[in-house]
Chains A and B, each alone.
Chain A
């Protein structure tokens, strides 16, 4: 493998890892606040559809992005209503949201555009364009650093840079602000937070709103930055991989970056090579596709480190009277 190929693979790792990263951070806020969210997939899908549809009609990626975030937040509020206000089962609510998105996107897409559930292909102006960072072309001639800067670091859409910026920001919010402390406390010991006079429900609603926004960014990225329009079931299990990455990262923002980029790399490699030949041992493409899930199961089993979820995760909070 030469240097140029390596750069290409790493470049597509960043492209494919970005939606995973956004969705993983989305799940992080929800689960750190004590609400399980297996509906990441559905929220992303809804966001991808809304973004693709609105960008196709208006021709503006920003309008599409806004619509994507709105669609995702709307589903997030259904989840919040079921799991916070009505104290329903959070897992079941998540399953319902995934199916709701899977059905509604095709139903609405077919009804609006008559393309079998797709949204019309976006022209150049309807998508987020790659941004060339300053000096990328001048530096290209510098050995090693030049191509890395010009091809790998430069030339992504704004959402990619936003996703990477959100990693330290999420860490800072969770670890260094009062809001973050309260959010984590609500996920570990809601009764204590309640005693301190802070509304558990309000904190969890806020957390799920953040989750909705981040899932919205992830879905919009898929439809109007990575591809040119929405396609039926275009998330293709990415919400679940993000969930796997979240466990892999043990519910922490910086490791989330590593986990999602690792899973992005696996996807990039399996897209490029049908069967990977490692000097005699041939790894079939299916093994690479299954690897994120296998790794997550191993982590969950606690054989390599232990993944301990937030303590109050999955339990509705019932205020004592």
Chain B
């Protein structure tokens, strides 16, 4: 992230991300044109499919829940200038935590199982981030590389456990058995129905969405309203200055990564417990990586992360609808995601420099 002194705050927070996004979407539009489809019609199908009905919204919010957790995970680490690229592995292990909790006891009611499973997910996710964090803090091993490696190691660990340990006898499918009925989370449809509102039948959005919103708020409090959050940001801005001020870099790195891993792990509550109700291979489906795009776009602020996660939830559901009604495959969303990461993350200066010049000139004229 570059210095923002030359720009008014609104331009830094809203204008630049908006311009980056416009560029990313414009190129996506060109890609759609290039494969012989109509971008305007495509956008219409996506909006219709993702936001035109409570059915579409039910899926959009379900995907958004995943991206809020993984986006917050990346964002917390970004504040400490750490790039946690291991959300995928941490969420994979989080799924293991959820599954172990759900299968351990004959849970009488979801209200008891939910906090326990959330804790399990957070603990397993944090544990998977702990080794890279410790290696970064103590041995100086680059966290980007170690977390990438841990993504692959995590996939192998889960593969081994599902095939050899957790698979019920007689089943060919590398997955755990079904969770007991007492762990079944209420969907947003159930909750709306209890209030007498017909909303989102047969959609997977569930109570974890509310936990995700709570997590946004708690992360905001943590980063901007606590002593630790201050230390975290100070460390992220300048490690040397932070150390001079008496902040312990090992402690900050460790805690930041543990929180980051825990948040990524908690994503599994939504997918494993809320939707699949059993643990399957590859339950994360790339959501850990989308967290990177979400955090970059949301400028690592919880509110920004929430908005970006909703946008990506929309893209995901809209992309599924596109694949259903047109010849555009789902992978279009991967391209859009890549362009968003590229323009908001790596090519930020391309937009920022001319905008800064423009502002400097208008200031000079005034």
Task: Note all chain A residues with C-beta closer than 8 A to B36.
Answer: 111
Q: B337 touches which one: A38, A103, A237, A296 (CB < 8 A)?
A: A103
Task: Indicate if the CB atoms of A92 and B341 lie closer than 8 Å.
Answer: yes
Chain B residue with minimal CB distance to A293?
B149
Known: A93-B346, A95-B85. A300 touches B142 (CB 8 A): yes
Evaluate contact between A290 and B153: CB separation under 8 angstroms.
Answer: yes
Contact B350 A86 (CB under 8 A): yes
Determine the interface band of chain B, counting residues with CB < 8 A from chain A.
Answer: 35 or more
Question: Are A286 and B157 in contact, CB atoms less than 8 angstroms apart?
Answer: yes
Q: Do B338 and A297 touch across chains, with their CB atoms under 8 A apart?
A: no
- Residues of A close to B224: CB separation below 8 A: none
> With A and B bound together, what is the CA distance between A243 and B145 in angstroms?
9
CA distance in complex: A293, B333 (Å):
29
Contact of A92 among B145, B159, B346, B349 (CB under 8 A): B346
Are A88 and B347 touching (Cβ within 8 A)? yes
Decide yes or no: A99 and B348 within 8 Å by CB, A104-B335, A240-B148 being known contacts. no
CA of A87 to CA of B349, assembled, Å: 7
Interface 1/0s, chain A 223-249, versus B by CB < 8 A? 000000000000001001001100100
Q: Which residues of B contact A72 (CB under 8 A)?
A: none
B51 within 8 A of A: no
Residue B345 interfacial (CB < 8 Å): yes
Which residues of A have CB within 8 Å of B338? 96-100, 102-103
Q: Give the complex CA separation of A302 and B142 in angstroms.
A: 11
Residues from chain A with a CB closer than 8 A to the CB of B334 are 99, 102-103, 106
A77 at the interface (CB under 8 A from B): no
| Residue of A with least CB distance to B131 | A297
Task: Answer yes or no: B331 CB below 8 A from chain A CBs.
Answer: yes
> Quick one: closest A residue to B35, CB to CB?
A111
Question: Is B292 within 8 A of A92, CB to CB?
Answer: yes
Interface string of B140-182 (1 = CB under 8 A from A): 1110111011101100110110011000000000000000000
Asked if B289 is an interface residue, CB under 8 A from chain A, the answer is yes
Q: Which of A7-65 contact B (CB under 8 A)?
A: 36, 38
Main DSSP-derived SS at the B contact region? helix
Contact with A along B309-348 (1 / 0, CB 8 A): 0000000000000000001110111111111011001111
Contacts of A168 in B (CB 8 A): none
List the A residue with the shortest CB-CB distance to B333: A103
CA distance in complex: A227, B326 (Å): 31
Determine whether B43 belongs to the interface, using a CB cutoff of 8 Å to chain A.
no
Asked whether any CB of chain A lies closer than 8 Å to the CB of B31, the reply is yes
B228: interface (CB < 8 Å): no
Contact A243 B148 (CB under 8 A): yes
Tell me the A residues contacting B by CB distance below 8 Å.
Answer: 36, 38, 78, 81-83, 86-93, 95-100, 102-104, 106-108, 110-111, 117, 237, 240, 243-244, 247, 284, 286-287, 289-290, 293-294, 296-297, 300-302, 309
Q: A93-B342, A98-B338, A286-B163 are in contact. List 8 more A-B contacts (CB 8 A).
A: A82-B346, A86-B348, A96-B338, A99-B335, A103-B336, A240-B149, A289-B156, A293-B150
The 9 closest A-B pairs by CB, nearest first: A103-B334, A99-B338, A93-B346, A103-B335, A88-B346, A290-B156, A92-B345, A96-B342, A100-B338
What would 25 A/B residue contacts be, using CB atoms closer than 8 Å?
A82-B342, A86-B346, A86-B348, A86-B350, A93-B342, A95-B345, A97-B338, A99-B338, A100-B335, A103-B332, A103-B333, A103-B335, A104-B31, A110-B331, A111-B36, A247-B145, A284-B160, A286-B157, A286-B163, A290-B152, A293-B149, A294-B149, A300-B141, A300-B142, A300-B145
